[in-house]
Structure 1
Amino acid sequence: MPRKGMRTIFFKNSSPSASPSRSIPPPSPCHTFSDSVMEENIEIAHSLITKWDSDSSNSFASINSLFNNDNRQEAKQYLSVVKDLQSAMHYFVAEDSSSEKLVRAQNLMQIAMKRLEKEFYQILSSNRDHLEPESVSNRSSTTRSSVSDFDDECSEDEFRVADDSISETERVSMIAMADLKAIADCMISSGYGKECVKIYKIIRKSVVDEGLYHLGVERLSFSHIQKMDWDVLELKIRNWLNALKVAVRTLFYGERILCDHVFSNSETIRESCFAEIAREGAMYLFEFPEFVAKCKKTPEKMFRKLDLYESISDLWPEIESIFSFEATTSVRSQAVTSQVKLGEAVRTMLVDFESAIRKDTSKTPVPGGGIHPLTRYVMNYISFLADYSGVLSDIVADWPLSYSFSVTGILLRRSFTRDVALSYLFLANNLHYVVNKVRTSNIKFLIGEDWVTQHESKVKQYTSNYERMGWTKVLSSLPENPSAEMSPDLAKDFFRRFNATFEEACKKQASWVVTDPKLRDEIKISVARKLIPTYQEFYENNRVGFRRVMGSGSSSQICPQ
């Protein structure tokens, strides 16, 4: 607020505590008007500063805060007289540096600063809960700006109802922040910023350290992490992932807001305070992912490392903003270093994973040409990787694969069997499984619809080859022209040959499987369409002979199951 003349504020009050303790003598011929004003400033300051002198015998001063609700107007006056006292000191330094008036003013200033130092400490300590980073960070900038500082014209009632939308806790927090800023501004402008900053750093650093402790953030060395069992380390990773969000968005963000507000008039002090309060804890926090990245790099551990990488990526704009000071460059650098190391670890694991698949030469039989365990493992692994497509694209953006990845080639190496029909059924089963996994996961967004269409055609080709190799002998056991006239004996031979080859095929394929119900039905229908019309026409033309040669009957099912 525009500062009113202190004489007007104080002398309209008849209270002895609000007026000079002695009358000012009339000015001498050499006594200027400015001299009188500055002397008056000292007298007024003496009256109010000694009243609240914490070292005086006045017991009221020792138990009552200058900045509580009952004394807020007097607190404003106190800060104003300190400013006027400072003006008087500057004046007398220029006029006469050995002046008794200057010595008196300096003594009063020391008393006032000691009082304000105590008030600053009490506000920070007694409002610890109200100044928790969560409380500070949850308030919008609009709400924060709705409460005026002591320098603004604002009545006490206006202060209390500055914003009807805020809670009592927020109101108390906002008042405490305004008080701290007012005291800090006064002490810094009076040359006592060091004392103010020291108190602030000690108390607020303890708040940050305590907050990190409750979040479970520990200072762990690489050797300690390296010796941990994976189950223990994974638990710590999960805890870190939860802690990071709270630490960045609440703890450090709230501290930055509070620090920026209290020391808004000095960028140098803001930077120094926040750096000393937050830097050490933040370094512990962001060192952890780097240590995890250096641990053993097995494919199963890739997803947790991707979680760590993604969490830093998601919060990077906030990290960069909160730790934007030059004095907190090390924090930003540590976060970037952790990301880089995690990215390198992921790339190494991707190479090792692909290499292991290519080098795998196991020929373990898969019953009935079903889904190979490696096929399931690989596709489940890749589908999980696809969920991290955003961060993976960042990690491998400048790191193209050196060779193409052929699913068919790998599956062919897994075909364990000399039976050609079963080999094709194995390929159909496994490639169909791969295509379905692609269709039902985020992989489809990475490799595109063309890939899916192309490999669906290959599945049809493999099923067609299976049908040809598995059922050609049965089909060829029937005459080429099923409607042609033939002798009963020849018809009997065809019936016997067909029954024998059909039974043989069914017996052979009884243990073969098609795991996907839809694909299984498609194969059955396709085989039936090839056999039934030819057989039915031959049967209709030779049913008499058929009845005589049919024995105990044959299977009517089309294999495989």
Structure 2
Amino acid sequence: MASANNSMENLISARKSLKISLEKSKALGLALEKAGPRLDEMNQRLPYLEAAVRPIRAQKEALDAVGGHINRAVVPAAAVLKVFDAIHGLEKSLSDPQSDLPGYLSVLKRLEEALRFLGDNCGMAIQWLDDIVEYLEDNKVADDRYISTLKKALKYLRELQDNEEKDHHDGGLLGAALDRLENEFRRLLTENSVPLPMSSSSSLGEQACIAPSPLPVPVIQHLQAIIGRLIANGRLDKCISIYVEVRSSNVRASLQALNLDYLEISISEFNDVQSIEGYIAQWGKHLEFAVKHLFEAEYKLCNDVFERIGLDVWMGCFAKIAAQAGILAFLQFGKTVTESKKDPIKLLKLLDIFASLNKLRLDFNRLFGGTACAEIQNLTRDLIRSVIEGACEIFWELLVQVELQRQTPPPLDGSVPRLVSFITDYCNRLLGDDYKPILTQVLVIERSWKQEKFQEKILINEALKLIRAIELNLETWSKAYEDNVLSYLFMMNNHWHLYKHLKSTKLGNLLGDSWLKEHEQYKEYYSTFYLRESWGKLPALLSREGLILFSGGRAKARDLVKQRLKAFNEAFDELYKTQSNWVVPEKDLREKTCQLIVQAIVPVYRSYMQNYGPLVEQDASASKYAKYTAQSLEKMINSLFQPKPVKYGSFKIRQSSGKFNNGVTDQSRASPTVK
């Protein structure tokens, strides 16, 4: 019994002991479960702990030297970081350049100095850091992974140093600041660039000269200050680009009021020089205005704004403005005129172009004489050469063309051929005060190019040759008429034209009074022949023979009167029908000729009708014979020889045949005769 009790107690005791052990095991398991992550964390930290204690394991000499290496690397790196922080502090100090340009430029200059320091010292700091990393690696003072991380960081720094160094030092702050400065440069130019006001193109010659400088002095000073900072940062090209864009646009705006669309005209857009004659006159005025007022002002302004940089810079800037603003278009228009069809009027227009260019020669040499204006110089020289060669070619060909016209038929209406009227007027213009000096200068230059001596009277001699050729043409043409009466009228017209339009002129004075008197006498001579061989024959048809001494009574007298009136009417009608298509261009000669015809016919007819008209007036067919009254005859005669409407122009030098047109459909003079 007692042993049984002891066994139970032992069992209960063992159970309790087992239960306690089980609880302890559970607690230990929970503790182990919680310690697992901590062990993992400790396992991860062990390499860092190992690296941290490694210097303790390193050699003593390496440990003693590492401090000096670290100090030499850290000090410049710390200085660089300090300047870098200062740079970002300057960002807040960058004001608006429009409100405070001096302050803005001052801060910008400090920013540039800081960046220069970074540029000069970043490389050195990186090299010192690289040296300490190399030392740590060689002497195994630091962990390999730590050194690897340092190497990656240094590699990135070197890449930044090599790739657009300055831009990365400040994170683009300097670039943004310079962009704002460029915008301020553009604003100052744009707001102060005002096109030159003009009331009308007709008052160009009266335009007041533009101010000495188109920009106020304070504005120029601000522009110069901005240019200085932009140049310091390698932005001169952008600065010039903005300047050229704004100022050339301003010049173009000033020229727009002149309506210069004609400068773009091409050769295919006009038939001859006459169709753009007005434009050529405008061209000279517009070119002078552009050079003396607009380009002159831009030349001076470029000098004022960019003078501190150098001659090449501001001259190049001006050359771009001139080219973009339109000087090339002016020169190209002149070149287009030289390439148009040959025409005597073209000679005068070429001389006008030469005169305009010659008037501006000193201005061109001064404004466009630099190497930067090489394109303008080349185009100008090419234009002048084309003008001189074209003018001389037409001038020397005039005599040949006049002689070639000798083989063409004369005008069907007996009037003055266009060639005659044109040449007389043309020679006077060439010898006049407006064109003679210019043409002489052109001929002198052309002779010098050919290394030939210029003959002083060459222009006068050529003009006299032209008039002599015209005289020969008239003789030849007069013989080409089948109707002698029309030939007489033709010669009467032309001799009077030569006398009237050359008297008291430059050319007339050269020909002399005897020459002029001779043509006046020829006019009278041919007028007499014309009247005698045509209208002068009519009075004889109204013969009174047999009407006074007749003895056969009124019937016989009436028949004679009828016959003679019928013959008169038929002759008159035939002459009137034929000569109603003839022309006497000069009013005074036309009136005098009609007056002579009236005097030759009307008094005779009036007297005849007064005496013998009653014999037929009572007849049933009276209107058939008494067809005209003296008044109606006079009216009809005075209506003769009227000029037909004509298109004014010059004769042409035809490229294909080399002949002038001598027809009557375009009979004219290019301009009023020089008196």
Given the alignment of the two structures, is residue 334 of structure 1 paired with residue 395 of structure 2, yes or no? no
1:79-125 deviation line (CA, Å, top 9, x unaligned):
9x99xx9xxxxxxxxxxxxxxxxxxxxx9xxx9x9999768634431
Aligned with 1:323 (options 346, 364, 368): 368
Counterpart residue number, 2:299: 256
Matched, 1:390 2:446: no
Letter paired with 1:346 = A
Q: Is the 8 A contact 1:306 1:391 kept in 2?
A: yes
Amino acid at match of 2:299: R
Give 1:338 deviation, angstroms: 0.6
Q: Distance in 1 between matches of 2:501 and 2:233?
A: 64
Structure 1 position 64 matched with structure 2 position 124: no
| Structure 2 Cα separation of the partners of residues 462 and 533 of structure 1 | 23
- Displacement after TM superposition at 1:323 (Å): 2.0
- Residue 421 of structure 1 contacts residue 469 of structure 1 at CA under 8 Å; is this kept in 2? yes
Q: CA contact under 8 A between 2:355 and 2:438: conserved in structure 1?
A: no
Confirm whether residue 180 of structure 1 aligns to residue 223 of structure 2: yes
CA distance change for structure 1 residues 323 and 194 in 2, over 3 Å: closer, same or farther? farther
Given that residues 299 and 318 in structure 2 are in contact (C-alpha distance below 8 angstroms), is that contact kept between their aligned partners in structure 1? Answer: no
Identify the residue that residue 410 of structure 1 maps to in structure 2: 473
Equivalent residues in 2 for 1:261-410, closer than 5 Å: 261-264=304-307, 268-269=311-312, 272-274=315-317, 277-278=320-321, 281=324, 282=327, 286-287=331-332, 289-290=334-335, 292-294=337-339, 296-298=341-343, 305=350, 308-309=353-354, 311-313=356-358, 315-325=360-370, 327-328=372-373, 331-332=376-377, 334-352=379-397, 354-360=399-405, 361-363=407-409, 366-367=412-413, 369-370=414-415, 372=417, 378=422, 382=426, 390=434, 393-397=437-441, 398=443, 400=459, 402=462, 403-406=465-468, 407-410=470-473
Give the total of aligned pairs. Answer: 431
Give the aligned partner of residue 506 of structure 1: 572
Q: Could you say which residue in structure 1 is the equivalent of 2:185?
A: 124
Partner AA of 1:64 in structure 2? D
SS at match of 1:488: coil
Question: 1:256: how far off?
Answer: 0.9
- In 1, distance between residues paired with 2:381 and 2:477? 42
- For 1:71, the aligned partner's letter is D
- Name 2:626's counterpart in structure 1: 553
1:285, 1:450 → 2: CA distance?
39
Mapping of residues 459-478 of structure 1, within 5 Å: 459-474=523-538
- Encode CA deviations 1:432-459: one digit per residue, 9 max, x unaligned: 66778889xxxx8654678799366654
2:594 alignment partner in structure 1: 524
Partner-residue secondary structure (3-state), 1:179: helix
Residue in 2 aligned with 1:158? none
Q: CA deviation at 1:259?
A: 0.6
1:203 corresponds in structure 2 to 242
Contact 2:428/2:507 (8 A) holds in 1 = no
* One-letter amino acid matched to 2:467: F
CA distance in 1, matches of 2:375, 2:481: 60
Unmatched runs of 5 consecutive residues or more in structure 2: 1-82, 114-165, 199-206, 444-457, 552-556, 641-675
SS of alignment partner, residue 534 of structure 2:
helix
Q: Give the distance between the partners of 1:204 and 1:139, measured in 2 at CA.
A: 26
Q: Deviations over 1:178-231 (max 9, x none)?
A: 3224555x679xxx68957534432233446667988789999xxx977x4646
Q: 1:353 to 1:266 in 2, by over 3 A?
A: same
Is the Cα–Cα contact under 8 Å of residues 212 and 297 in structure 2 kept in the other structure? no
What root-mean-square deviation, in Å, do the aligned CA atoms of Structure 1 and Structure 2 show? 6.0
Of 236-245 and 520-529, the range deviating more from structure 2? 236-245
Provide the residue aligned with 2:36 in structure 1: none
Look up the equivalent residue of 1:348 and give its one-letter code. Answer: E
What letter matches 1:421 in structure 2? V
2:272 & 2:491 partners in 1: Cα distance?
A: 41
Higher relative contact order by CA 8 Å / sep ≥ 6: 1 or 2? 2
Tell me, yes or no, if the aligned pair for 2:424 and 2:498 is still in contact at 8 Å. no
> Could you report, residue by residue, the CA deviation over 1:380-439 in whole angstroms, capped at 9, with x for unpaired residues?
994997799735751354363642324444344444423222212233345666778889
Give the superposition deviation at 1:285. 5.3
1:473-488 equivalences under 5 Å are 473-474=537-538, 488=549
User: How far 1:549 sits from its partner (Å)?
Assistant: 9.3
Alignment of 1:446-461 (within 5 A): 447=507, 454=516, 459-461=523-525
Q: Distance in 1 between matches of 2:484 and 2:524?
A: 16
Asked if the contact 1:260/1:270 (under 8 Å) is kept, the reply is no
Which structure has the larger Rg over C-alpha atoms? Answer: 2
Contact 2:488 2:527 in 1 (8 A): yes
Q: Deviations over 1:238-292 (max 9, x none)?
A: 5994985675356533421221211345663565434653476555753553465
In the alignment, is the contact (CA less than 8 A) between 1:123 and 1:176 conserved in 2? no
In 2, Cα distance between the equivalents of 1:385 and 1:217?
30
Task: Give the match's secondary structure for 2:382.
Answer: helix
1:81-120 pair list within 5 angstroms: none
- The match for 2:66 is none
1:249/1:318 contact within 8 Å kept = yes
> For 2:466, what is the secondary structure of its paired residue?
coil
Whether the 8 Å CA contact 1:421–1:470 is kept in 2: the answer is: yes
> Of 470, 480, 483, which aligns to 1:419?
483
Deviation at 1:57, TM superposition (A): 3.9
Change (3 A) 1:63 1:72: closer
Distance 1:136 1:60 in 2: 44
Given the superposition, is the C-alpha separation of residues 195 and 445 from structure 1 closer, same or farther in structure 2, using an over 3 Å criterion? Answer: farther
Counterpart code for 1:343: I
Aligned-partner residue type, residue 344 of structure 1: E
The answer to whether the Cα contact below 8 Å between 1:347 and 1:396 also exists between their aligned partners in 2 is: no
Rounded Cα–Cα distance in structure 1 between residues aligned with 2:194 and 2:361: 19
**Distance verdict in 2 for CA 1:235–1:298, change over 3 Å:** closer
Would the alpha carbon gap of residues 252 and 211 (structure 1) be closer, same or farther in structure 2, given more than 3 Å must change?
Answer: same
> What letter matches 2:338 in structure 1?
A
In structure 1, how many angstroms separate the alpha carbons of the residues matched to 2:105 and 2:540?
108
